[in-house]
Structure 1
Amino acid sequence: MHAFITIGSTEFDALIAETLSPRTLKALKAKGYETLTVQCGNSTFEKAALVAKGDTATFSLEGLAIELWKFKPSLRDEYEKADLIVSHAGSGTIIEILRLPKPLIVVPNSKLLHNHQEEVAQALDARGHLKSSTIENLAKTITQFDPNTIVPFPTFDGNKFRQLLDEEMGFV
């Protein structure tokens, strides 16, 4: 099985460090994951700092084959081949992954302004669409996560959106 970690375009060293920590790697291995790809964005964490833009680093830790890189034009292929995705809690990333659908654990970046990621993560976790975690509990969340309990995310209904806009604009 394959896991994919993405932090987006910001620095989220804490998530990269925890992802590559022995306890999280052991949790992934115990759940049957054999490979791990990490999109490290602008992270400056020691292993991430070794990867130049456009390059890929490959290595093995705790019995997992790991691939590490900064950016790609699209993450869609990575999402599709992953059996589990761990992501920052950016709304666009969350929606894209939930629409595939793929099992998703989100880790809000508490250093962002007003901690909006935490609100989004908690709301979607409460509805059962994903699992929210903290950095400190990532290994435990991976261990306890059962993708079969995820509630499918509703498909987009353009009519509802149009109706909402019409109501807001006073056309109805």
Structure 2
Amino acid sequence: MVVAVYPGTFDPLTRGHEDLVRRASGLFDTLVVGVADSKNKKPFFSLEERLTIANEVLGHYPNVKVQSFSGLLKDFVREHDARVIVRGLRAVSDFEYEFQMAGMNRYLLPDVETLFLTPSDQYQFISGTIVREIAVLGGDVSKFVFPSVDRWLQKKIAANNAAEQQ
């Protein structure tokens, strides 16, 4: 049985992320979507919110598990006996960072491979950061995220705006 891990912050989970999950889940017996705590990135959504969102969007895939992790990816990969780390590459600008990370992961986990998947054409330009920025500025992100994620974004933005008003 081949287990793969797809790690990320997923802040928020986009249609591009789901596209990679859908395609990667067809390649492996089990795909563990690792939602990183990423406190150093100061995420828009809490870890608990990101886990809930990921489960809402990805819960229908029978061989996909959504779990959180903090600390080193290598420990999470070992914990799940994974043989592959799945990463998405949207653009050449992603490559340098991802190449360095793959090299470090190979050093730390010599028996684990990193598999790069490019997104489907319609998702190549989508990133969680851009989606958040558009949403916060009042733009329509419905083509980039699932309806449930759009509702989460609107709710969070409204709560943040209300807190700023006080």
TM bin (shorter chain): 0.3 to 0.5
TM-score w.r.t. the length of structure 1 is 0.41
- The structure that is helix-richer by fraction is 2
